[in-house]
Amino acid sequence: MSVKFRGVIPPVPTLFDDREQFDEAAMGRLIDHLLTTEVDGLFFLGSAGEFAHMSDALRTQVMKFCIGHVAGRKPVLVGIAHSGTQATLAFGRLAQEYGADGVVVVNPWYNPLAEDYLFEHYRYIAENLPLPIVLYNFPGLTGQSIPVACIVRLAQTCPNIVGLKDTVDTLSHIREVIHAVKPVRPDFAVFAGYDEYLLGTLILGGDGAIPASANFAPELTCGIYRHWRQGEYDQANALQSRLSWIPALYGLDVPFYNVVKYALTQIGLEIPVHSLRPTGPLTEQRKGQIREALARSKII
């Protein structure tokens, strides 16, 4: 577990052609572009990566290609979540085989779990998978928040559970996690999931963010992190103000996959803007709204 995850890590979109086939050439271009930026790692098969709409075979294909294409140039996190414990572990073993530096695990969805069962889900995976594990709390999509007490218990019990992506639309929850877990596990990394909480998370003692905007606006997200580390707080605050125009984009199309892909085309990348069904193409009106937000944030 030599990799320390911190800073700004984009949840990378998965690229498809107009026949819903994984576009390896375009994906390679996107990865190569991201590797030229200041991002501190890459996260594949997260929410923005459309994992929930994929077959197991497609997830495996995407995982193997992306890890192989990065080829150790920056740390790689891979989402391995499944609705069952054994299936999650199976994806984790594939991630280990293919060379991932760590895995991200959102809690099981559909059936809510008693806290003891939720703890056991993660404990069992950590016991049987030596890779570093980042918990992923996204109650808006899973239907269940991972209790703070459970996070603390896992941090104390499982050395290879190394952090949390907290995608909860309130900074107070991130603060609650930081205050609870850092005293008992100072090296446990706490990441904001939402772009607008990056600077606030750092102020509270957190470790960074895993925001979709890091794909198309790394000059903002990575800039905030860099200025914060250098003690240049006015500059960090100015960039966070620019970044504040971005979150509204994600509500323009639900799910937001094509929003992120289209934003990438607006900064000059030649990539397809297609997603798996049932997601459809962006309307011209939505494209215009995306361009307007990017302009307001001075990205384009």
What residue numbers does the annotated binding site for pyruvate cover?
Answer: 210
Q: Which of 19, 50, 18, 13 is nearest to 31 (CA)?
A: 13
3-state secondary structure the chain: CCCCCCEECCECCCCECCCCCECHHHHHHHHHHHHCCCCCCEEECCHHHCHHHCCHHHHHHHHHHHHHHHCCCCCEEEECCCCCHHHHHHHHHHHHHHCCCEEEEECCCCCCCCHHHHHHHHHHHHHHCCCCEEEEECHHHHCCCCCHHHHHHHHHHCCCEEEEEECCCCHHHHHHHHHHHCCCCCCCEEEECCHHHHHHHHHCCCCEECCHHHCCCHHHHHHHHHHHHCCCHHHHHHHHHHHCCCHHHHHCCCCCHHHHHHHHHHCCCCCCCCCCCCCCCCCHHHHHHHHHHHHHCCCC
Count Cα neighbours of 116 within 13 Å in the Cβ-side half-sphere. 0
Told to judge if 136 belongs to the known catalytic residues of this protein, a careful annotator would answer yes
Given 122, 165, 261, 262, the catalytic residue = 165
Q: Select which of 4, 74, 110, 136 is catalytic.
A: 136
Answer yes or no: 74 catalytic: no
Say if CB 44 and CB 76 are below 8 A apart.
yes
Active site members: 136, 165
